[in-house]
Structure 1
Amino acid sequence: MKLSNDFSGALRIFAYFMSSGRHNMLEGINYLELYGSEPSAIEMVFAIFVNVLELDEDGNVTNFKYAQKRATDYLRSYCDRDFEVNPPYEDWEITLYQMPTT
């Protein structure tokens, strides 16, 4: 089974705005400096985004904005220790899965 075009588009546009430094949910946060210097922070952002993203039975993304919010809230809290993520993350949202062997 292949991932849907909708999922591919959601991941692509999220990756674009994360790597451009212009994600509208991170306005005022200078997060580009984390790329290369603190890759685990960026890794967690993408893990949260993909863990939270939901698809319907046809493979269409049903919660794109919410998945972005959960992911970008992590990065905002990482850069601004006074920012509180609400609600706090559940374990399943912040799980880092292993790389495939094939």
Structure 2
Amino acid sequence: MGQLPVDVRASLRFFAFYLANGTIDVDLLDGIDYRPALFQFGSPLEQVFAIYGNVLQVDASGQVLNEAEAQYRAAQWIRSYCDPGYQVEPPFRAWETELHGP
């Protein structure tokens, strides 16, 4: 098996940068410093990456098709984790939050 396509690797790199920098969807997460909540324990951060990876779509040539949507869905989960009063719309479907692997 080969490597992930360059476009996918770049998308993941930017997502990780924005996440660590506190700038994932600044409109949705305005005023919420989610980093301490996510980085203290691994499971919340793991869920954020699972959602991003599950929602991300790639075409046959390896080009990312919906980077903004994948980031937004991950940001919605972050917001709901940090703000219990926030309602995710539309609600997450099971495949979006599924954790893969051993």
TM-score normalised according to structure 1 size: 0.89
**Whole-Å separation in 2 of the counterparts to 1:36 and 1:64:** 22
Decide which moves more: 74-83 or 28-37: 28-37
Deviation of residue 35 (structure 1)? Answer: 4.0
Match of residue 63 from structure 1: 66
Listed as ranges, the gaps of 5+ residues in structure 1 are none
Going from structure 1 to structure 2, the CA distance change for 1:36 and 1:68 (only over 3 Å counts) comes to closer
- Partner residue of 1:44? 47
Cross-structure match for 1:21:
22
Distance 1:38 1:78 in 2: 13
For the aligned residue pairs, the C-alpha RMSD in angstroms reads 1.3
* Partner residue in 2 for 1:10: 11
Find the aligned partners of 2:53 and 2:95 in 1 and give their Cα distance: 11
30, 34, 38: which is aligned to 1:31? 34
TM-score normalised by the chain length of structure 2: 0.89
Superposed CA offset, 1:28-53 (max 9, x none) = 11111124423211110110000000
Determine what percentage of the aligned residue pairs are the same residue: 39
Q: In structure 2, list runs of 5 or more residues that go unmatched.
A: none
The DSSP-based 3-state class of the residue aligned with 2:99 is: coil
Between Structure 1 and Structure 2, how many residues are aligned? 99
